[in-house]
Amino acid sequence: MADFTNQPATPIGGSGSPTPPTTVPAVPIGGSGAPTPPTTAPAQPIGGLAATAPVITTHPQSKSVVQGTQTSLNIIAQGSPPISYQWYFNDAIQQEEASLIGTQTNSIFFNAIETGRTGRYKCTATNPSGTATSFDALLTVTASAGVPPNIAMQPQSKTVNIGSTASFACLANGSSPFSYQWYRNDIAIGGAISSNFVINNVQAADGADYHCVITNPYGSATSNKALLTTTTSGGSGSPIYLGSGGQTALAGYTENQLKTLAQGPPQINPVLRSNVLGTYEISAPPSGQNEYRVFACPAIMVQSSIKFDSAGATLPMQQLTDTTVDGIVYHVYRTTARSVGDFTVIGGTAINVTD
C-alpha cells in the first residue's frame, strides 16, 4: 500500500502550478453546525439550600395595658439559623431588668408593668446573612383603676374628764395610698393627718364635734361627726379598779389588765367602808394566797395624795405609769410586796368619789 503524504496537489493532466491543500472545519461529534464551547454551572451549597437573611413575618402589635399587670410583645422571623434578637425602647437598646425579661429573644415580657414603660418598641433579627427590623409597636400603660375611700370605722362620741386624754380613730377601705385630715367644728386641725387623732390634757374648750376626711387618688370620704364632751367629775361613770395583780410584780398595766382586776380576787367592794368620802376596802386573796394588790382610779380624783392603810398602819404602795382606760387617764398603784391581808384605800378630800 502506498503512503499518503502531504504533497501539493497536481492539477489534472499533470501540468501547471500545484494547488495548496485546503482545511475542512471540524464537525462536532454526532451532529452538524458550529462547535459549542464548554459551560460552567453555578456552585450549589452543601445540602442544596442557599443561606437567607432574616425576614420578619409577624411584627409586634401595639396595645394598651393597665399598670401593675403582665404583658408581652412578640415577633416571628424566618431565615437561616442562627438568628439573634435585640429589643429597642424608643430607639435605644433595651437592657434586661428584674421586671423586664427576654430583651434578646423574640418575645419580651413585662411583669407588674409601670406607666414609665409607655413608648415605642421594636426588635431586630440578625444572622450572618443580614438583619431585619420589625415595625414599631406602641405600648401604652394606663394608671390602675383604683377604688375611692369608703369609711369602714367611724369615730365615736365620748365623754372624758378634764386633764385626761381623748382619742378618735377613722379607717377606710379602698385603694391606697390614703391621706387624712381631722376637723374640729368643721375647721381643719393643723398636723392632724393620721388615722388617729389624740388630744392630751383635755380642757373644757376641747369639747366639740370632730370628724375626718380620708382621701386617695380616686376620691374622698367624710366620716360622721363625733362629739367630745368634757367633765370635771371623775366619779359617776368612772370605775375604780381594785384587785389582785397576781404573784408577779408587773412594771405597768394595760387597759385590759386593769379591767381584769374587777373580775378576779380580791373582790372589789364598791360600797364605802366608812363615813369618810372616798374610802374603799380591798379584801385578801382567797385561800391565803400571797399576791400583789393593785388600785387604779381616774387621775382627776387625786388632788394631792392617797393613803393606803392595812390593820391601822400605812401600807407601802408604788405608783406605776398612768394608764388610759376608755379615754380616761388612771393613776395606778400596787403594793411593794405580796400580801395576804386586807387593806383600805383612804381618800378623804384627796379622792372625791360619789358612786
Q: Are 147 and 172 in contact (CB under 8 A)?
A: no
Residues in the chain: 355
In DSSP notation, 239-286 reads --EEEE--SS--S---HHHHHHGGGSSSPEE-S-SSSSTTEEEEPPPG
Same domain, 260 and 338: yes
CA distance 9 to 7: 6
User: What is the pLDDT, as a whole number, of residue 272?
Assistant: 39
CATH of the domain at 209: 2.60.40.10
User: What is the pLDDT, as a whole number, of residue 268?
Assistant: 40
Same domain, 119 and 177: no
DSSP annotation of 19 reads B
Backbone Cα Rg of the chain? 52
Q: What residue numbers bound the domain in which 106 lies?
A: 55-142
Whether residue 82 is preceded by a cis peptide bond, meaning omega within 30 degrees of 0, is: yes
Same domain, 137 and 61: yes
Q: Are 199 and 166 in contact (CB under 8 A)?
A: yes
Q: Are 199 and 162 in contact (CB under 8 A)?
A: no
- Per the domain annotation, does 36 fall within a domain? no
Where a domain ends, among 231, 252, 275? 231
Same domain, 154 and 175: yes
User: What is the pLDDT, as a whole number, of residue 5?
Assistant: 47
Give the global pTM. Answer: 0.34
pLDDT tens, N- to C-terminus, the chain (355 residues): 444 445 555 554 555 555 555 555 555 555 555 555 554 444 445 555 789 999 999 999 999 988 878 999 999 999 999 999 999 999 999 999 988 999 999 999 998 888 899 999 999 999 999 999 999 999 999 877 788 899 999 999 998 877 788 999 999 998 888 999 999 999 999 999 999 999 998 888 899 999 999 998 888 999 999 999 887 654 444 667 777 778 888 888 888 888 777 544 433 433 334 444 456 666 666 666 788 888 887 777 665 667 777 766 777 888 999 998 877 888 888 888 887 666 666 653 333 333 2
- Per the domain annotation, does 49 fall within a domain? no
CA distance 123 to 89: 9
